[in-house]
Structure 1
Amino acid sequence: MFDLIGLSAQHETIYRVMLQRPDLNVAGLAQQLAIPADQVREALDVLADLALIRLDPGGGPVRAVRPQAGLMALLAKVEAEVAVRQQQVEATRAAIAAIATAHDSHSRAVEGRAFEGVDSVRERLIELAQTARTECLSFSTGGGQRADAMKAEAPLNQLALERGVHIRNVYQDSLRNDPATLAHARWMASLGSQSRTTPTLPMRMIIVDREIALVPIEPGHPQRGALELQSPGVIAGLVALFEQVWSTATPFGEPARPDEQGLTRQERELMRLLAAGHTDESAARKLAISLRSVQRMMTSLTERLGAVSRFQAGVHANRREWV
């Protein structure tokens, strides 16, 4: 019944007995339930991880947390995760519809044109920066940005901000390891721009005034050029994608704080990528960090999990709900 909140039938039974018989220790619980003491200890570890039992710092007996507090807190956490997941599903659905429409050459809904090559895209971005009226939203994939690109866009961004254009940008967390890009982001922030970071981004993207969007012709090869989109339906989907990513990203200037399990967002995303079948190399590309950084991070995570191999680390990570 309680699998949804991470409680097996045996763990539930032990928890119920502890509520009814708070005087029982491990041996007493094992005798009461006719199970080995090792199984009781394993169950107590799980119940402790779920905050359903409380240890006495003074060395007294373990106490079960009242179900009105413990179980309801776990259920509330699951409900919150479901709500967030539903938002992600809706945003992803909108993004899929937008991308599908953008790449359907026969769709009449698409009103745009292709800009082949980096120089062509840069010229179009200069035009858009000069004509933007209210807002510019963007995803900047990769870690460090190209120095020539930052130098070229700096005066244009400054003029746009001075005109009252609201600029929001999402970088990848790896930005924090590149001094030049970090300095550029700080300078932009000093002018009123807002930036956030997240471990991975779906693609490079710019949306101007919620009317025009530039997305890569090939997301995996942005140097090929960009496709300009103007269809209201497509733009709405891309804006929804941006807002969903923005809502969960870390505001620029704030440290990458670990979550309740001690993991940074980048570490958790690395675990997710590897669990999904990515190699160290492809995970490094997704996170825009070096292969050595991925391997260093995995060594640290394996040690924290108390594992002696990648496989054992995966088992322990799954048990602790790190993935």
Structure 2
Amino acid sequence: MLETLGLSAEAAAVYQVMLSHPAADVAGLAGASGLTPAQVHDCLDELGQYMLVRASGEHPGQLRAVSPEIGLADMITRQEADLAARQAHLAASRAAVTRMVAERADHRTTQGERILGLDGIQDLLERLGRAVRTEVIGVQPGIQTIADIEAARPADAEAFSRGVTMRTLYQEAARKHPHLEVHAHWLLSQGGEVRTAPTIPQRMVIFDRTQAVVPIDPADHRRGALHVTEPGILTALLDLFEQAWNTAVPLGATRYDEPESGLSGTERELLRLLGGGLTDETAAQRLGTSSRTVRRQMAAIMERLNATSRFEAGIKAAQRGWLQ
């Protein structure tokens, strides 16, 4: 029982013996407690640190046990004082953290906070993810790596457990990557919504419709991000997302070829992009695929149209109404 106060089992045993046999010397204490004299000396030192023994006036050169009513009560009083001191230290530490957070908030502009580097972006997303209450909206162009997905999974699961809803927009090319397909179905299993489209807006994550994170450089989202809180900018981002979301295809839905053209959604978008003057490389980036795939798809479209050049293919596609 005394071990709960911090005493070792051996010291507690010696203390009990001393209370029962006040005149016992070291040898007697050793015999009664089953310890060696050396161990008894160590126990007496420990009891002395807790102020549970004092010099005996009746037996010079020996120690006597302080009665439990006094010694143990004093121990509890000291422990309560230590606990109060630790609580005061904890309160001071919490106040210091609160001041630091407030100071950082004062340095942020109403338009947004610039975050440089991937580590800083991840810290920001984690902070906003912990604070989100109702909804997370995400646009994920390109192909997420397995490492990025695994790093975000615990935070997503924790948010779902709090009843947060999630809508995520991927490029249609994501359907061809097994790890993204698996992740998307996991989001669906948690109550999230996932849609895909051939082309989608720039990368963004919007929390509770009040805060957004967008890349400083859309071509390299790992360079840095802007934390946006300005209502005007947020409204524009939300409108952009909703427009893309409303025309995207829910994951799991069958996407039929267009009946009159026989084109898939990606092929139709490719014709629009190339017809607008984009290069293969730029079109591939917009579609989340490779320039080699773009050239292969365009060659197939030209064969279908019986065209000898891309220019001719564009004219024939327009004549057939494929670009409307």
Q: Does 1:255 align with 2:251?
A: no
Secondary structure in 2 matching 1:223: coil
Task: State the secondary structure of the residue aligned to 2:222.
Answer: helix
Deviation at 1:315, TM superposition (A): 1.2
Distance in 2 between the 1:255 and 1:228 partners?
A: 36
Residues 149-168 of structure 1 mapped to structure 2, 5 A cutoff: 149-168=148-167
Output the CA distance in 1 between the equivalents of 2:116 and 2:247. Answer: 33
- Number of residue pairs matched? 215
Q: Report the CA distance between 1:110 and its aligned residue.
A: 4.3
2:297 is matched by which residue type in structure 1?
M
User: Structure 1 counterpart of 2:240, which letter?
Assistant: L
Partner deviation per Cα, 1:4-42 (whole Å, 9 max, x = no partner): xxxxxxxxxxxxxxxxxxxxxxxxxxxxxxxxxxxxxxx
Rounded Cα–Cα distance in structure 1 between residues aligned with 2:229 and 2:159: 21
Query: Displacement, 1:302?
Result: 1.0
Q: Name the structure 1 match of 2:203.
A: 204
Task: Map Cα deviations across residues 186-208 of structure 1 (whole Å, 9 max, x no partner).
Answer: 11111111000011123100000
SS in 2 for 1:308: coil
The alpha-carbon distance between structure 1 residues 306 and 227, as it changes in their structure 2 partners (threshold 3 A), is same
How far off its partner does 1:230 sit?
A: 0.6
Q: Aligned equivalents of 2:144 and 2:171: distance in 1? A: 11
Q: Which amino acid aligns with 2:285?
A: R
* Contact 1:115 1:227 survives alignment (8 Å): yes
> 1:18 corresponds to which residue?
none
Aligned to 2:219: 220
Equivalent residues in 2 for 1:1-323, closer than 5 Å: 110-142=110-142, 144-260=143-259, 261-323=261-323
Whether the 8 Å contact between 1:207 and 1:214 is mirrored in structure 2 is yes
Distance in 1, Cα, partners of 2:218 & 2:290: 20
TM norm structure 2: 0.64
Q: Residue deviations 1:142-167, cap 9 Å, x none? A: 0x212211001111111111211110
- The amino acid that maps onto 1:220 is A
**Residue 141 of structure 1: how far off its partner (Å):** 0.8
Q: Answer with 1 or 2: which has the greater Rg.
A: 2
Distance 1:110 1:318, change over 3 A: farther
Aligned-residue offset at 1:308 = 2.6
Give yes or no for contact 1:136–1:207 (8 Å, CA) kept in 2.
yes
1:173/1:198 contact within 8 Å kept: yes
Note the residue ranges of structure 1 that are not aligned, 5 or more in a row. 1-107
Higher RCO (CA 8 Å, separation ≥ 6 residues):
1
Question: What amino acid is aligned across from residue 256 of structure 1 in structure 2?
Answer: R
Alpha-carbon distance, 1:129 to partner? 1.4
Q: 1:217: how far off?
A: 0.9
The residue number in structure 2 matching 1:58 is: none
Contact 1:109 1:231 in 2 (8 A): no
Kept after mapping to 1: 8 A contact 2:201/2:240: no
Give me the CA root mean square deviation.
1.6
Separation in structure 2 between the aligned mates of residue 225 and residue 268 of structure 1, nearest angstrom: 33
Instruction: Give a deviation string over 1:246-279, Cα, whole Å, max 9, x none.
Output: 0000101123322233222211110011011111
Distance 2:218 2:140 in 1: 12
Structure 1 runs (4+) deviating above 6 angstroms are none
Q: Which amino acid aligns with 1:178?
A: H
User: Is this contact kept in 2: 1:137–1:206, CA < 8 A?
Assistant: yes
Deviations 1:270-314 (A, max 9, x none): 001101111112211111111221112112111221223222211
Report what 1:71 is aligned to: none
Residue 109 of structure 1 and its aligned partner are, at CA, apart by 8.8
- 1:152 partner SS: helix
2:4 is matched with which residue? none
Distance 1:207 1:169 in 2: 10
Paired letter, 1:204: R
Amino acid at match of 1:232: P
Aligned residue type for 1:297: Q
